[in-house]
Structure 1
Amino acid sequence: MRAFVRSPFVSALAGGTVVAVALLAFGAVGRDRPTTIIEQTGMGGGTTTAESAMTAHAIYERDAPGVVFVRADDASPGATISSLHDSEASGTGFVIDRDGHVLTNQHLVGDARTVRVSFDDDETVTARVLGADAANDLALLKVDPAEVELHPLVLGDSTTARVGDPVIAIGNPFGLARTLTTGVVSALQRQLTAPNGFTIQHVIQTDAPINPGSSGGPLLDAEGRVIGITSQVATDREGGSTGIGFAVPIDTAKSKLDELKRTGSVVHAYLGIRGTTIGAELSAAMPSKIRRGVLVQVVLDGSPAERAGLRGGSIESQVDGVSVLMGGDVLTSIDGRTLTSMEQLTGEIADRRAGDEIRLGVLRDGEAMQLSMRLGTQPRSAPDAAETP
């Protein structure tokens, strides 16, 4: 299972914890239909009213038929698929409409053009991969609606999720078809490293058990509406699960569906720097004692940042045991809004489109200035796994 890890200097200087997150495709699934399992721990808690809340069993009975097995057996060798055998990787997806569209994870399908999809009635059909968005770990599949009976899931609103709300995950962990697990929303607005090395925004954290094979399945609220797409789990240093799972918000997927249907891909905005948050330790080590902002580490060749004249660091230093390049520009604002972290900057860029013009507040050698630049198009993959907006 491939693990994606935040850049150590970014995590340490932001005061965070270095966390490995593992993609959840599962390899070598048998052809026999596995037994369905319900692991239910109750749906109490949260903000949903008693009148509207459903039992976990009721949600399962209604929504499980819309959850599918996805098997990709012709992905390219370079695809980010965690598999026990090179010939096949499997995971989960779910039907979103009666036209035959199915959502799943990009890291599951890789570069495959077709995959096999198995439904609740054990019917297996071929699906086309209509499009993929590696920067958000999303893939859109299409099956022929005349070939199978479709049970679309209701797409909810991920912005209504609150910490403590009860949630349900339905997936195919370790090949066990349509397994239900329950938990709560543990945190919101997390950031994850996507399969292509860029950053997924607004991620939902949950303690609902998620295991290999569950990737691409729905995370449901107490009314059975999809609020997220399960994608990754945190792992300890030995690669074991920590009980912390992550889901791409459904609003992210909904905002990309039309583009995926039309073009097969999604164009993202791109600035082209690597940087780190100025926290207390880094601030104390800087000559000007800057209290907050983003210290530019590297300006990438050919990027909009390079064309606009941004400068990276050149003086190797150690701050609290972490290597940092000092002497680069400090970014203090974007379009007049104060910047306090690298995470905020990546979010700001993600919310814009390629071609948009931005204005950055910059401190260079103690002198404040404003630099305007036009955002470019995000490349297919980031230069490395560090945060690169």
Structure 2
Amino acid sequence: TFFITTMATTNATGTAHSSPVFSLLSVSSSSSSSSLRCFFPRKQSSITHTFRSKTTQFSVSISRANPNRAAPLLAFFTTHNYQSQSSSISSDTQKTPISKVPFLDSLFVICTSLALSFALFVADVDQASAFVVTTQRKLQPDELATVRLFQENTPSVVYITNLATKQDAFTLDVFEVPQGSGSGFVWDKNGHIVTNYHVIRGASDLRVTLADQTTYEAKVVGSDRDKDVAVLRIDAPKDKLRPIPVGVSSDLLVGQKVFAIGNPFGLDHTLTTGVISGLRREISSAATGRPIQDVIQTDAAINPGNSGGPLLDSSGSLIGINTAIYSPSGASSGVGFSIPVDTVNGIVDQLVKYGKVTRPILGIKFAPDQSVEQLGVSGVLVLDAPPDGPAGKAGLKPTKRDAYGRLILGDIITSVNGKKVTNGSDLYRILDNCKV
């Protein structure tokens, strides 16, 4: 009786293969021996098993249809067609009367088959394992540049904790509770830390944690609520302070690669990447509602906790402060905004020197841009100009009503110092560039 079975195996790619890779070529018999030949291991010699009896020999030859496949094949062979009372395994082994103990015949064949199956299975596993084990992949040049940028700038980024004082209504005990957190970066060796104003707003106590996890109490040097910028100071050893490299934002281009480092959701020193999606955007200050012009738009992920952290270009230079996101859910939606570093430079210099920002004011209240557009005019409509203010002293007329309740429009500002003014943002931009 002759049986052929196969064992399905799985290669390194997860693909199963089995019997279709083999074909039976011939079965023959003679009077001297029986043999089983199996061409299995890839690029290896054939495996041969011979079973001899005194009067009968069966020879089985098996080859693979596809020599590039290596699925194991097991061929089980047995016969009970003996004409003698004894048989031999080989000419140089001791003879044993098999026919007198019939089950020894089957037992021998089963053991031989199991041995073959184990050998073939191990060979196949070894072949598959060669495909699984791989050498470590080398980083690409752009990946190496990103890793280097993160490692060089991480020591400049800090974690800021905003603590507020609360009083228990029953015991009157006073205690501090975390009110919020954000990011910041080291500005100079004197311990100045730059962040957003909304990160520190309402804080009774501020703590700054450096990259080495040392924490220092921080004092507010000054803040600019209109531009959402604040400067803190910590008393830390100078060797622990690494100022961030400061770049420029006037020559930025849409599509330029950018990197944001911060502490989103308290996960310190998280790096996200993206590109500049837009330039010269405008957002409103969370504290005063005053417009912040020339804001950088990016798709780098900015989440709660990223506020106040640096936005870097490919050289690792500071080009902006991550400030706000546009998101209905409060999580990153791929639209983030950063205050340009050219704006930050002038503000920080004044805060460090004077503790406040001095900028010119007109002393007026003006109408929303939409209202002016409905009137079909271009410019800034003056609603109020107190007599003791700069605009009132200069003679600007406010909007008012006459004795019959009819609306009398005030002056409309159309230019300042020869620069055209079409809306309130234009007016603020011109005033910000004027020196007092």
For the aligned pair, the TM-score class normalised by the smaller chain equals 0.5 to 0.7
Contact 1:75-1:110 at 8 Å conserved across structures: no
State the alpha-carbon separation in 2 of the partners of residues 234 and 254 from structure 1. Answer: 25
State the alpha-carbon separation in 1 of the partners of residues 334 and 201 from structure 2. Answer: 26
**Compared with structure 1, are the counterparts of its residues 54 and 332 closer, same or farther at alpha carbon in structure 2 (3 Å cutoff)?**
farther
State the alpha-carbon separation in 2 of the partners of residues 302 and 210 from structure 1. Answer: 44
Unaligned residue ranges in structure 2 (runs of 5+) = 1-140, 168-175, 402-406
Note if 1:58 corresponds to 2:144: no
Match of 1:266 in 2: 357
TM-score, normalised via structure 1 length? 0.65
Match of 1:161 in 2: 252
Give the number of the structure whose alpha-carbon radius of gyration is greater.
Answer: 2
State the alpha-carbon separation in 1 of the partners of residues 379 and 179 from structure 2. Answer: 45
Larger RCO, structure (CA 8 Å, separation 6 or more): 1
What are the superposed Cα offsets for residues 181-215 of structure 1, whole Å, 9 maximum, x if unpaired? Answer: 11111222222222233232322111111111111
Contact 1:106-1:139 at 8 Å conserved across structures: yes
Contact 1:210-1:245 at 8 Å conserved across structures: yes
- Structure 1 residue 227: Cα displacement: 0.5
What are the superposed Cα offsets for residues 66-114 of structure 1, whole Å, 9 maximum, x if unpaired? Answer: 111011214799xxxxxxx964311001112222221111111125475
What are the superposed Cα offsets for residues 208-254 of structure 1, whole Å, 9 maximum, x if unpaired? Answer: 11111111000001111000011111233x65654211111112222
Unaligned residue ranges in structure 1 (runs of 5+) = 1-49, 78-84, 316-324, 355-389
Note if 1:337 corresponds to 2:419: yes
State the alpha-carbon separation in 1 of the partners of residues 385 and 334 from structure 2. Answer: 37
**Compared with structure 1, are the counterparts of its residues 76 and 161 closer, same or farther at alpha carbon in structure 2 (3 Å cutoff)?**
farther
Contact 1:76-1:112 at 8 Å conserved across structures: no
Match of 1:102 in 2: 193
Match of 2:49 in 1: none
- Structure 1 residue 132: Cα displacement: 1.5
SS of 1:211 mapped into structure 2? coil
Match of 2:322 in 1: 230
What are the superposed Cα offsets for residues 129-181 of structure 1, whole Å, 9 maximum, x if unpaired? Answer: 22222122111122223286222210111112122211111010111111111
SS of 1:261 mapped into structure 2? helix
State the alpha-carbon separation in 2 of the partners of residues 192 and 88 from structure 1. Answer: 24
Note if 1:68 corresponds to 2:150: no
TM-score, normalised via structure 2 length? 0.58
The alignment covers a number of residue pairs equal to 281
State the alpha-carbon separation in 1 of the partners of residues 196 and 283 from structure 2. Answer: 14
Aligned identity (percent) is 37
Match of 2:226 in 1: 135
State the alpha-carbon separation in 2 of the partners of residues 94 and 170 from structure 1. Answer: 10
State the alpha-carbon separation in 2 of the partners of residues 326 and 192 from structure 1. Answer: 32
Residue type of the alignment partner of 1:307: K
Match of 2:269 in 1: 178
RMSD: 3.0
Residue type of the alignment partner of 1:67: V
State the alpha-carbon separation in 2 of the partners of residues 255 and 76 from structure 1. Answer: 36
SS of 2:271 mapped into structure 1? strand
**Compared with structure 1, are the counterparts of its residues 129 and 75 closer, same or farther at alpha carbon in structure 2 (3 Å cutoff)?**
farther
Contact 2:260-2:272 at 8 Å conserved across structures: yes
**Compared with structure 1, are the counterparts of its residues 87 and 206 closer, same or farther at alpha carbon in structure 2 (3 Å cutoff)?**
same
State the alpha-carbon separation in 1 of the partners of residues 297 and 208 from structure 2. Answer: 27
Contact 1:54-1:224 at 8 Å conserved across structures: no
Contact 2:186-2:194 at 8 Å conserved across structures: yes
Residue type of the alignment partner of 2:181: S
Match of 1:201 in 2: 293
State the alpha-carbon separation in 2 of the partners of residues 104 and 270 from structure 1. Answer: 25
1:149 to 240, 244, 251: 240
Contact 1:172-1:214 at 8 Å conserved across structures: yes
Match of 1:360 in 2: none
State the alpha-carbon separation in 2 of the partners of residues 113 and 155 from structure 1. Answer: 30
Match of 1:307 in 2: 393
Match of 2:59 in 1: none
